[in-house]
C-alpha cells in the first residue's frame, strides 16, 4: 500500500522546504571508488526505536483499556467520551505511523518518512501528553508509567526522523545537482554556444523581458518514488 500521488507530492514539497540544507552551495564530489547511489542514509537508531515501539504498543493498548474499564464508573460523562475517543484515535494513528516509519526509513522514501514525522509531532505526541498530564482522567500508576515510556519513544523518534529526513533530502539534492552536471557534460561546448546564440537572436524575444522556464520537478519526483 502506497501513499496517493497528491499526498506524496505535497509531502515531498514540504520536505524540500523544511529539511533541505540552505548552507549547501553545490554538489559534493564523489569519493574515490564510491558512488552516491550506494550511500545508505537510513537511520539505525530510528529503526531500532520503531522495532521496540512495535512490541511496546500492544502492551500500552492493553494497559490503557484495562485501566479505562476499571475507572470508567467514576469518570465524569464528558471524560468518558474523551478518553474512549482518544484511545481509539491513538490506536489508529499509531498503526499508520509505524507503517510510514518502516516504509520511509527502510526504503529511504522521503514522503513516507515526512508523514511519519508529522504524525508523531503533531498528533501522537500531543495525545500522549494529554493522557499523561490531565489529572481529571484519574491517572493510575500503571497508566502513568506506560504513557511516560510512550512519550519517550515519540520524542526520540521525532528527533531521529528529523535528522534522517535532512540526510535524505540533502542526498536527493546532491543527486539532482550531479545529474544536471552530467547532462551538461554530455553536450559539446560548440552545441551549447550555438544554442545560446539562437536564444539571444530569437526575434520573438526582442524587446521582451526574458523569463527563464521554471525548474522541473521530474527528477525530484522520480527520486521520491524510488
pLDDT in tens, 151-170: 999 999 999 999 999 998 88
23 domain residue, yes or no? no
Residue 104 resides in a domain: yes
Banded model confidence at residue 191, pLDDT cuts 50, 70, 90: low
Of 121, 99, 93, 125, the closest CA to residue 112 belongs to 99
Task: Grade residue 16 by pLDDT with cuts at 50, 70 and 90.
Answer: low
Domain that holds residue 61: 44-165
Whole-number percent of the chain with pLDDT over 90: 50
What is the C-alpha to C-alpha distance for residues 137 and 141, in angstroms, rounded to an integer? Answer: 12
Q: pTM of this prediction?
A: 0.71
Structural domains counted in the chain: 1
Q: Is residue 160 part of a domain?
A: yes
Residue with cell 465524569: 76
**205 within domain boundaries:** no
Q: How would residue 206 be classed by pLDDT, with cut points 50, 70 and 90?
A: very low
Amino acid at each position: 500500500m502506497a501513499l496517493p500521488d497528491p499526498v506524496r507530492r505535497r509531502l515531498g514539497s514540504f520536505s524540500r522546504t523544511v529539511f533541505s540544507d540552505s548552507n549547501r552551495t553545490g554538489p559534493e564530489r564523489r569519493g574515490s571508488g564510491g558512488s552516491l547511489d550506494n550511500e545508505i542514509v537510513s537511520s539505525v537508531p530510528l529503526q531500532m526505536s520503531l522495532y521496540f515501539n512495535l512490541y511496546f504498543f500492544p502492551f500500552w493498548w492493553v494497559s490503557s483499556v484495562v485501566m479505562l474499564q476499571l475507572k470508567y464508573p467514576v469518570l465524569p460523562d464528558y471524560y468518558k467520551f474523551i478518553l474512549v475517543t482518544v484511545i481509539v484515535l491513538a490506536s489508529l494513528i499509531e498503526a499508520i505511523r509505524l507503517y510510514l516509519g518502516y516504509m520511509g526509513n527502510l526504503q529511504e522514501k522521503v514522503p513516507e518518512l515526512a508523514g511519519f514525522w508529522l504524525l508523531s509531532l503533531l498528533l501522537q505526541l500531543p495525545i500522549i501528553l494529554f493522557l499523561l498530564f490531565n489529572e481529571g482522567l484519574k491517572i493510575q500508576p500503571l497508566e502513568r508509567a506506560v504513557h511516560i515510556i510512550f512519550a519517550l519513544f515519540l520524542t526520540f523518534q521525532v528527533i531521529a526522523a528529523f535528522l534522517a529526513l535532512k540526510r535524505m533530502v540533502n542526498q536527493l539534492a546532491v543527486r539532482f545537482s550531479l545529474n544536471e552536471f552530467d547532462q551538461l557534460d554530455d553536450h559539446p561546448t560548440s552545441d551549447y554556444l550555438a544554442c545560446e546564440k539562437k536564444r539571444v537572436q530569437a526575434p520573438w524575444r526582442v524587446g521582451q523581458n526574458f523569463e527563464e522556464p521554471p525548474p522541473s520537478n521530474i527528477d525530484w519526483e522520480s527520486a521520491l518514488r524510488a
